[in-house]
């Protein structure tokens, strides 16, 4: 790609223009325009794209999900990844999530002290299914 600056007024920036008179800075901007919009912050700073608000996730959710993953480490740290392309495995994870969700609802509805962190089981089993969905989006 050539520099998007006017031919008569080439940017001549030694940092952004290479020896072939291709303006790297403008190439990057043009590439980003086709990928994702540039987000302009009130401070005047800019960034490509606008990421989801990860800060809205609570430490409780992250901690309880991590502890649930720790509970399954005896199967292997990344054992679940072995089954990520296996639809039957993923559907079984969703069935587990549903069972745990029903148990959690029963505990909450009846003011029963939880004996197992059923909601963390829901979160991690849904995570497995989400990873399956993301994998299915990828070109084969």
Domain spans in the chain, listed from the N-terminal domain onward = 7-51, 55-137
Confidence (pLDDT) at 38: 81
- Residue keyed to tokens 């794209």: 49
Confidence (pLDDT) at 20: 52
Bigger pLDDT: 131 vs 3: 131
Mean pLDDT score across all residues of the chain: 81
Q: Which of 5-9, 10-14, 121-125 has the highest mean pLDDT?
A: 121-125
Q: How far is CA 89 from CA 62, 74, 77, 128, in A?
A: 24, 18, 17, 9
Question: Hey, CA dihedral for 119, 125, 130, 133, is it positive or negative?
Answer: negative
Bigger pLDDT: 52 vs 95: 95
pTM: 0.67
Are 93 and 128 in contact by the 8 Å Cβ rule? The answer is yes
Confidence (pLDDT) at 140: 64
Report the percent of the chain where pLDDT is more than 90. Answer: 58
How far is residue 118's CA from residue 105's CA, in Å, rounded to a whole number? Answer: 9
What are the tens digits of pLDDT across the range 54-84? 999 999 999 999 999 999 999 999 999 999 9
């Amino acid at each position: 790609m050539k520099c998007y600056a006017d031919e008569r007024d080439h940017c001549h920036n030694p940092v952004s223009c290479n020896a072939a008179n291709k303006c790297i800075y403008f190439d990057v901007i043009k590439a980003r325009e086709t990928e994702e919009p540039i987000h302009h912050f009130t401070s005047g700073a800019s960034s490509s794209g606008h990421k989801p608000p990860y800060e809205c996730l609570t430490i409780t959710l992250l901690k309880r999900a991590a502890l649930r993953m720790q509970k399954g480490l005896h199967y292997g740290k990344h054992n679940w990844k072995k089954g990520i392309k296996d639809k039957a495995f993923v559907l079984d994870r969703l069935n587990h999530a549903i069972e745990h969700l029903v148990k959690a609802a029963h505990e909450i509805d009846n003011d029963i002290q939880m004996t197992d962190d059923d909601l963390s089981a829901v979160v991690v089993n849904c995570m497995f299914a989400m990873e399956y969905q993301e994998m299915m989006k990828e070109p084969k």
